[in-house]
Structure 1
């Protein structure tokens, strides 16, 4: 099974100039913990709810004047739609991430989440291993 078979095509994204408040609200309304930062369809970075807590709130930055470009992680791990879901699960476990932007020629076309893999019965073990790896990483 390929990533395209389980990915979400409707991707919420923000721009480098998006405010942290707007990003947090988008995360809440979309019920997600990470959002890609894009210029057009090109992925420039990713912001997680943890980034907002650690890089803005804990550092005492002004939430009104801090923007996506100030805190985004620009080393984004991505997959392509024709990669196997087993490979996506392995990448999630290795990098301890729950969501991977899906790109084609540098442009975002979707997102694959750990939950997308877990819903496929044949991939529950790998998704479980990925989640286990992610959870263990959080305790270090």
Structure 2
């Protein structure tokens, strides 16, 4: 099975100059945990997760109305093609420790795959479980 068979189409995305407040509102409205950042041609330039908003905005006390998407986005984005095998994508997500994978064709965002998309498919629930286990393992010991 290929990513194009399970990916979400019509992905919500923002531009580089979208205020972070609007990004958060889009996440709330669409019940999503990440938003790709694209240029005017639909090429992906970054991604913002709900965690990015907390760690790179809220924790610093910066005003989300004036902070732009480009200020807090992760610009090194791991992407996949629509024809990538689902199991291969699952392994890549585990290796890179990411929960969401933008799907790009001809340098343009065409979809999004989340671990949840894999988990709801009985054929891939084991891969999703293994990927989540990899992602959730701590990178260093927890201390207070």
Using the size of structure 2 for normalisation, the TM-score is: 0.93
- Tell me the number of residue pairs that the alignment of Structure 1 and Structure 2 aligns: 140
Structure 1 stretches of at least 4 aligned residues deviating more than 2 Å after TM superposition: 137-140
**Structure 1 gaps, min length 5:** none
| Cα distance in structure 2, aligned partners of 1:36 and 1:74 | 10
Cα RMSD (Å): 1.3
Q: Where does 1:24-43 land on structure 2 (aligned, <5 Å)? A: 24-40=24-40, 41-43=42-44
Partner residue in 2 for 1:54: 55
Q: 1:116 to 1:56 in 2, by over 3 A?
A: same
Deviation sequence 1:107-132 (CA, Å, 0-9, x none): 00000111111122111111100111
Q: 1:85 to 1:4 in 2, by over 3 A?
A: same
Shift of 1:139: 7.0
| Alignment deviations for residues 11-57 of structure 1 (CA, whole Å, 9 cap, x no partner) | 00000010111000100111111100001310000001111101111
How much does 1:64 deviate? 1.4
Tell me the equivalent position of 1:86.
Answer: 87
Q: Distance in 1 between matches of 2:76 and 2:103?
A: 14
Give how far 1:137 is off.
3.9
Instruction: Give the alignment of 1:96-107 within 5 angstroms.
Output: 96-107=97-108
Map Cα deviations across residues 43-89 of structure 1 (whole Å, 9 max, x no partner).
00000111110111111212111010111110000000000000111
Whether the aligned pair in 2 keeps the contact of 1:102 and 1:112 (CA below 8 Å) is: yes
1 or 2, which has the higher helix percentage? Answer: 1
Residues 104 and 112 of structure 1, relative CA distance in 2, 3 Å threshold: same
Match for residue 21 of structure 2?
Answer: 21
In structure 2, runs of 5+ residues without a counterpart are none
Aligned equivalents of 1:137, 1:49: Cα separation in 2: 19
